Amino acid sequence: MSVLRLCAAFCTLLLPVPGVIAQTPSTRSEVAPSREQVMKFLEVTQAKSRVEQVFAGMAKQARIGAELGFKQKVPDASPEQLARVDAISDSIFKEFSVDELIDAIVPIYQKHLSKSDLDGILAFYASPTG
Protein backbone atom coordinates (compact mmCIF):
# COMPACT_ATOMS: atom_id res chain seq x y z
CA MET A 1 0.00 0.00 0.00
CA SER A 2 1.69 3.23 -1.17
CA VAL A 3 -0.17 5.40 1.35
CA LEU A 4 1.18 3.18 4.12
CA ARG A 5 4.73 3.70 2.87
CA LEU A 6 4.19 7.44 2.66
CA CYS A 7 2.87 7.47 6.22
CA ALA A 8 5.82 5.32 7.32
CA ALA A 9 8.24 7.83 5.83
CA PHE A 10 6.37 10.72 7.42
CA CYS A 11 6.18 9.08 10.83
CA THR A 12 9.83 8.10 10.70
CA LEU A 13 10.56 11.82 10.66
CA LEU A 14 8.65 12.18 13.93
CA LEU A 15 10.70 9.57 15.72
CA PRO A 16 14.08 10.24 17.29
CA VAL A 17 16.81 9.35 14.84
CA PRO A 18 20.39 9.24 16.13
CA GLY A 19 23.20 10.91 14.21
CA VAL A 20 24.67 7.54 13.24
CA ILE A 21 21.94 6.98 10.68
CA ALA A 22 24.21 8.03 7.82
CA GLN A 23 26.07 4.73 8.02
CA THR A 24 24.43 1.37 7.58
CA PRO A 25 25.36 -1.72 9.55
CA SER A 26 26.56 -3.39 6.36
CA THR A 27 29.06 -0.59 5.64
CA ARG A 28 30.33 -0.74 9.21
CA SER A 29 30.51 -4.55 9.33
CA GLU A 30 28.20 -4.59 12.33
CA VAL A 31 25.23 -6.76 13.13
CA ALA A 32 21.80 -5.31 12.47
CA PRO A 33 19.49 -5.09 15.47
CA SER A 34 16.78 -7.70 15.97
CA ARG A 35 13.14 -6.88 15.45
CA GLU A 36 12.63 -7.21 19.20
CA GLN A 37 15.38 -4.69 19.90
CA VAL A 38 13.87 -2.18 17.45
CA MET A 39 10.41 -2.75 18.95
CA LYS A 40 11.84 -2.04 22.42
CA PHE A 41 13.35 1.19 21.06
CA LEU A 42 9.99 2.20 19.53
CA GLU A 43 8.26 1.39 22.82
CA VAL A 44 10.72 3.45 24.86
CA THR A 45 10.32 6.41 22.51
CA GLN A 46 6.52 6.06 22.56
CA ALA A 47 6.43 5.78 18.77
CA LYS A 48 3.06 4.05 18.65
CA SER A 49 1.29 6.78 20.60
CA ARG A 50 2.94 9.43 18.41
CA VAL A 51 1.77 7.68 15.26
CA GLU A 52 -1.74 7.33 16.72
CA GLN A 53 -1.76 11.09 17.43
CA VAL A 54 -0.63 11.85 13.88
CA PHE A 55 -3.32 9.58 12.42
CA ALA A 56 -6.00 11.16 14.62
CA GLY A 57 -4.94 14.64 13.50
CA MET A 58 -4.85 13.59 9.85
CA ALA A 59 -8.31 12.00 10.14
CA LYS A 60 -9.73 15.13 11.74
CA GLN A 61 -8.25 17.40 9.07
CA ALA A 62 -9.42 15.09 6.28
CA ARG A 63 -12.95 15.11 7.68
CA ILE A 64 -12.99 18.91 7.93
CA GLY A 65 -11.55 19.23 4.40
CA ALA A 66 -14.05 16.78 2.94
CA GLU A 67 -16.95 18.61 4.55
CA LEU A 68 -15.73 22.01 3.36
CA GLY A 69 -15.17 20.73 -0.16
CA PHE A 70 -18.61 19.15 -0.26
CA LYS A 71 -20.24 22.33 1.07
CA GLN A 72 -18.54 24.34 -1.69
CA LYS A 73 -19.94 22.01 -4.35
CA VAL A 74 -23.32 21.58 -2.65
CA PRO A 75 -23.99 24.75 -0.65
CA ASP A 76 -27.43 23.62 0.51
CA ALA A 77 -26.30 20.14 1.61
CA SER A 78 -28.62 18.33 3.96
CA PRO A 79 -27.47 17.01 7.33
CA GLU A 80 -27.84 13.49 5.92
CA GLN A 81 -25.53 14.29 3.02
CA LEU A 82 -22.94 15.81 5.37
CA ALA A 83 -23.20 12.78 7.63
CA ARG A 84 -22.50 10.56 4.61
CA VAL A 85 -19.43 12.65 3.69
CA ASP A 86 -18.22 12.31 7.30
CA ALA A 87 -18.79 8.54 7.21
CA ILE A 88 -16.80 8.19 3.98
CA SER A 89 -13.97 10.30 5.37
CA ASP A 90 -13.93 8.32 8.62
CA SER A 91 -13.93 4.99 6.76
CA ILE A 92 -10.74 5.92 4.90
CA PHE A 93 -8.77 6.25 8.13
CA LYS A 94 -10.22 3.07 9.60
CA GLU A 95 -8.17 1.22 6.99
CA PHE A 96 -4.92 2.60 8.42
CA SER A 97 -3.28 0.32 10.92
CA VAL A 98 -0.76 1.73 13.35
CA ASP A 99 0.65 -1.76 13.82
CA GLU A 100 1.19 -2.13 10.05
CA LEU A 101 2.95 1.21 10.00
CA ILE A 102 5.19 0.20 12.89
CA ASP A 103 5.94 -3.04 11.01
CA ALA A 104 6.96 -0.94 8.01
CA ILE A 105 9.24 1.26 10.15
CA VAL A 106 11.15 -1.60 11.82
CA PRO A 107 13.21 -2.54 8.71
CA ILE A 108 14.24 1.09 8.28
CA TYR A 109 15.82 1.11 11.72
CA GLN A 110 17.33 -2.33 11.13
CA LYS A 111 18.92 -1.06 7.95
CA HIS A 112 20.37 2.15 9.34
CA LEU A 113 21.26 1.26 12.93
CA SER A 114 23.47 -1.47 14.29
CA LYS A 115 22.78 -3.64 17.30
CA SER A 116 25.42 -1.74 19.26
CA ASP A 117 23.81 1.59 18.25
CA LEU A 118 20.49 0.48 19.70
CA ASP A 119 22.17 -1.02 22.76
CA GLY A 120 23.62 2.43 23.47
CA ILE A 121 20.38 4.23 22.75
CA LEU A 122 18.38 1.88 24.98
CA ALA A 123 20.98 2.21 27.74
CA PHE A 124 20.63 6.00 27.52
CA TYR A 125 16.82 5.85 27.75
CA ALA A 126 17.09 3.48 30.73
CA SER A 127 19.40 5.92 32.54
CA PRO A 128 18.25 8.77 34.82
CA THR A 129 19.35 11.27 32.15
CA GLY A 130 17.29 9.52 29.47
Q: What is the pLDDT of residues 49-107, one digit of tens each?
A: 998 999 899 999 999 999 999 999 999 999 999 999 999 988 888 888 889 989 999 99
Q: Give dist(CA 8, CA 100) in Å, integer.
A: 9
Q: What distance in Å separates the CA atoms of residue 10 and residue 104, rounded to the nearest whole number?
A: 12
Q: What percent of the chain has pLDDT over 70?
A: 78
- pLDDT at residue 85, rounded to an integer: 94
* Measured CA angle at 61 (ends 57, 64), to 5 deg: 140
pLDDT at 106: 94
Res 96: pLDDT: 80
Q: Is the pLDDT of residue 129 over 70?
A: yes
Mean of pLDDT over the chain: 82
* pLDDT at 115 (0 to 100): 94
pLDDT surpassing 50 at residue 23: no
